[in-house]
Chains A and B, each alone.
Chain A
Amino acid sequence: MVQARYRTAFQLYPYERVAEQDAATVTRHPVVIVGGGPIGMALALDLGLKGIPALVLDDHDGVGQGSRAICFAKRTLEICDRLGAGQAMVDKGVVWNLGRVYKGEEEIYNFNLLPEDGHRRPAFINLQQPYFEKFLVDRIREKQAEGLPIEIRGQNRVTSVETHADHVALEIDTPDGPYRAEADWLIACDGANSPIRDMIGQGFAGRVFEDNFLIADIRMQAEFPVERRFWFDPPFNRGETALLHKQPDDVWRLDFQLGPNADRKAELDEEKVRGRVRGMIGDDIPFELVWTSVYTFRCCTMDRYVHGRVVFAGDSAHQVSPFGARGANGGIQDIDNLGWKLALVLQGRAPESLIETYHDERKHGALENIRNSSRTADFLTPRSPAHELFREAVLTLARDHAFARPMVNSGRLSVPCVYDNSPLNGGDGLRHPARTRPGAPCPDAPLGDGFLLDRLAGGFTLVGFDTDVPDRVDFDGIEVTGFRVDTDDTIRDRYLDAHAFAVYLVRPDQHVAARWSRYDEAAVAEAVDRATGRA
């Protein structure tokens, strides 16, 4: 028996009995992914596209209900473009640029995000999490039909794991009873309360925040402009904050801070929720409640993300407050980092120690996300008279003085982290521009009829900016493809600065591995060895 823990929005992978359940011998899989949320599915897709068989075990048969994560950042969309699912997300998603900040009754300022020009994707989109997951599964189904080795098993719940030096043994429960399987690598994408984490006896340490928030997603056909509104101390939620923004399908996210002593059950009472909604949108607009939830949050991380052959990705490894949308966005960056490393190790082209660098790089990212989202929480929930004093000072000054507006912290938008000091980084023969130093994600730029990032999809890539590089070089089993870019102002600004030409070695996850002022095969060979953990 596999008891449901939540209701699903879309049934996407109903339980089907597989031959393995009746086999006399236990099957060994290269990669088993536990948890079919956005992170697990994205990893399965990434591995499948690289030709690595990936088996997803999920204890439900589809995508859970509730909008949940609704903000997907540019980097996530770029990664999903690489996976072939980005366009569906952007087509469905809502783009907004204008934000308004209120204090009490008054709008104190507004801002236009004005994303930097010359990127295929906007700074972020709003999209309900079930759609995000569904588009990933849709893409998996397309690629499965083409023969990609991805398998999803619904209502398959892992009930025990046994770790060995070179594999993990699993016991899996199904509606037809249990069976056993083995995995060379087990990737736990099973969420913030990760059962796998408990099964291997690992902890999850951090800070619990003493505050409650109510989410009310409502459907209304309103003439409201597509913009984000954030209130400090509004008349309809005195002493607290509130947030309004738009999702697809005429759905709006209303978020009310409730304070530390909220009665969760009372707050979820439908009449009480409706009263709060009326307070924000007024009495005239008809609406229906789509989803309500009271949440608290914590910022936690595991000590290490790699435990032998068990690897943690997404919320199972680290959890942040929702401010700044760093949960799902951070998790997608996890799998972007892990996918190519796992593939190289499984193909015998890189040593197992490469997987440890996943921990190094992504824990660095997780700590950055935790730092940012904790600071937002401190701004929204002042913990002492001094916190309150300075927040009031910031908000008072922000109305008339632009300098104070960047200090207003209602969430710092998720941007990808730079893997500074990563053991995989090679030399920096250019030293500037800083934004494309080794460890940084490559910024997009228009290129021909498309965009630069389209050309950085797959393996290691050499890019010659205004200089020639070989089309293809094999470095001891690591194939590197190259192409030349004749630059324009945008590309020069992002990749060359004052240099006349440059050569970049880019990793499969589109982060810069090393860069030079000219092509030197020996230097590239050394950087490839370093970036693959072979040196």
Chain B
Amino acid sequence: MASPIHLELSRPQLLISSVVTSVVTGTAAEAATAQSPGAEMPQNSKVSMIVNDERHEIEVDNRTSLLDALREHLRLTGTKKGCDHGQCGACTVMVEGRRINSCLTLAVMHQGDEITTIEGLGEPGNLHPMQAAFVKHDGFQCGYCTPGQICSAVAVLEEIKAGIPSHVTSDITAAAPLTTTEIRERMSGNICRCGAYSNIMDAIVEVAGTRA
């Protein structure tokens, strides 16, 4: 367990204003000044995380969500901000192998964590099978929810494989079957405003290797 982190103090009086939040959280260049022990605790923190197999050390305003850290500090803009309240799933990434809403967690809470974003799954010329299947089945229209849908879909197949039950699993003491009903229920945290759901399902089902 790490001890409370002691970092530099940076313009706390300015940070109190919520109006400047978006500006401040998006700026890594907050000039930090040294702080003597026992002084007031800082509103910025340094955090080190491994994103797509690469270690990054950043200094963030404590308010910075993991989503904003990825997009604004690391310039990994594949992960999208939809609702910013954990309702739409556009910001879904994998942290320590599990899918979460990156908008509802603070960057500072992920010291040392391994994070995989859509950029880490695959890239043009070397797509992840799920990315390729979304392209093949036209699993999107505007594409804004797509990175979240793909990260979630990859995780859903892993969760079924790991035997994690769902709301529609009829016998929760047995392994969950790999069915479209299971996939649909497990994808309910990812909203598609364009309504590309049937094509998204086709893509996931193809990767899952089932027509159940």
Is chain B found bound to chain A in the same assembly? no
Binding site for A on B (CB under 8 A): none
Binding site for B on A (CB under 8 A): none
